[in-house]
Chain A
Amino acid sequence: MPDILLDAWQGLAPSLQDGLVLAGLLAPAVLTGLVVTFGFRPLVLVPSLIWRYRWTNLVFVALIAVSVGLGVGLTAQERGLRQGTARAAEKFDLIVAAPGSEITMLFAAVYLQPSDVPLLDGAAYQRIVSADNVSLAAPIAYGDSHDGAPVIGTTPQFVSHLSGALVEGRLFGRSGEAVAGSAVSLRLGAEFTPAHGMGDEADAAAHAGAGTVIVGRMAATGSPWDKAILVPVEAVWEVHGLANGHAPERSAQIGPPFDPEHFPGTPAVMVHAETLWASYALQSEFTTDSTMAFFPGTVLSRLHGLMGDVRQIMSMMAIVTQVLVTAGVLTGLVVLTRLFARRLALLRALGAPRRFVFSVVWCYAATLIGGGALLGLAVGHVATGILSREISRRTDILVDASLAWPEFHLIAGFVSMTMLLALLPAFLALTRPVIDDLRG
Chain B
Amino acid sequence: MPGLHLEVSQLAVTGAGGRVLVRADRLSVAPGEAIGIRGPSGAGKSTLLFALAGLQPSTSGSINWGGVELLLMGEGERARFRRDHVGLVFQDFLLFEELTATGNAALAAAFCSRREAQPVRARAAALLERLGIGTGPRNVMSFSGGERQRVALARALANDPAIILADEPTASLDRETADRMIDDLLDLVRHAGKTLIAVSHDPHLLMRMDRRVDVIDGRLREGEAVA
Do A and B touch each other in the complex, judged by CB within 8 A?
yes
Chain A positions near chain B (C-beta within 8 angstroms): 39-42, 44-45, 47-48, 51-52, 342-343, 346-354, 356, 433-435, 438-440
The yes or no answer to B86 lying at the interface (CB within 8 A) is: yes
B50 pairs with A435, CB closer than 8 A: yes
Q: Which residues of B sit under 8 angstroms from A353, Cβ to Cβ?
A: 76, 79-80, 111
Partner of A351, one of B50, B57, B81, B109: B81
Separation in Å of the B61 CB from the closest CB of chain A?
18
The answer to whether B110 touches A42 (Cβ under 8 A) is yes
Partner of A52 from the list B50, B80, B98 (CB cut-off 8 Å) is B98
Contact with B80, one of A45, A347, A351, A440 (Cβ below 8 angstroms): A351
In the complex, what residues of A have CB within 8 A of residue B80's CB? Answer: 351, 353
Chain B minimum-CB-distance residue to A41: B110
Shortest Cβ-Cβ A-B pairs, 5 listed: A351-B83, A351-B82, A48-B98, A356-B111, A352-B111
List 30 interface pairs A-B (beta carbons < 8 Å), by A numbering.
A41-B109, A41-B117, A44-B103, A44-B109, A44-B110, A45-B99, A47-B98, A48-B97, A48-B103, A51-B98, A52-B97, A346-B94, A348-B55, A348-B79, A349-B82, A350-B83, A350-B107, A350-B108, A351-B80, A351-B82, A351-B111, A352-B108, A352-B110, A354-B75, A356-B110, A433-B57, A434-B55, A435-B55, A438-B94, A439-B46
Are the CB atoms of B79 and A438 closer together than 8 Å? no
Q: Which residues of B contact A40 (CB under 8 A)?
A: 110-111
Q: How far is the CA of A41 from the CA of B82 in the complex (A)?
A: 19
Residues of B within 8 A of A346 (CB): 94
Residues of A within 8 A of B46 (CB): 439
Given A347-B111, A349-B53, A350-B88, do A45 and B82 touch, yes or no (CB 8 Å)?
A: no
The docked-state distance in angstroms from the alpha carbon of A353 to that of B110 is 11
- In angstroms, Cα B109 to Cα A356, docked, is 12
Judge whether A45 and B96 touch: CB under 8 Å: yes
Interface size on B, residues (CB 8 A): 33
Are A435 and B56 CB-contacts (below 8 A) given A51-B98, A352-B111? yes
Set of chain A residues within 8 Å of B113, measured between Cβ atoms? 39
- Please measure, in the bound complex, the distance between the C-alpha atom of A215 and the C-alpha atom of B142, giving whole angstroms: 75
B96/A350 in contact, CB under 8 A: no
A351 touches B96 (CB 8 A): no
- Report A-chain residues with C-beta under 8 Å of the C-beta of B82: 349-351
Asked if B202 lies at the interface with its beta carbon under 8 angstroms from chain A, I say: no
Question: Which residues B56-88 have CB closer than 8 A to chain A?
Answer: 56-57, 75-76, 79-84, 86, 88
Contacts of B57 in A (CB 8 A): 433, 435
**Chain B residues with CB below 8 A from A44, complex form:** 99, 103, 109-110
Query: Complex formed: what's the CA distance from A353 to B113 in Å?
Result: 11
Complex formed: what's the CA distance from A12 to B135 in Å?
Answer: 54
CA distance A45 to B50 in the complex (A): 24
Q: Mark B21-65, 1 if CB is under 8 A from A, else 0.
A: 000000000000000000000000010001001011100000000
Contact indicator B96/A48 (Cβ below 8 Å): yes
How near does chain A come to B195, taking the closest CB pair, in angstroms?
A: 17
Q: Which residues of A lie under 8 Å from residue B109 when comparing CB positions?
A: 41, 44
> In the complex, what distance in Å separates the CA atom of A42 from the CA atom of B111?
7
Q: Shortest Cβ distance from B174 into chain A, in angstroms?
A: 22
B20 → A minimal CB distance (Å): 16
Q: Is B110 within 8 A of A45, CB to CB?
A: yes
Given contacts A342-B94, A351-B86, 18 further A-B contacts (CB under 8 A): A40-B110, A41-B110, A41-B117, A44-B103, A44-B109, A45-B96, A52-B97, A347-B111, A349-B55, A349-B82, A351-B108, A352-B110, A353-B76, A353-B79, A433-B57, A435-B50, A438-B55, A439-B46
Is there an interface contact between A354 and B99, defined as CB atoms closer than 8 Å? no
> Once the chains bind, are A352 and B96 in contact (CB under 8 Å)?
no
Chain A residues near B88 (CB-CB < 8 A): 349-350
Whole-angstrom distance from the CB of A162 to the nearest CB of chain B?
63
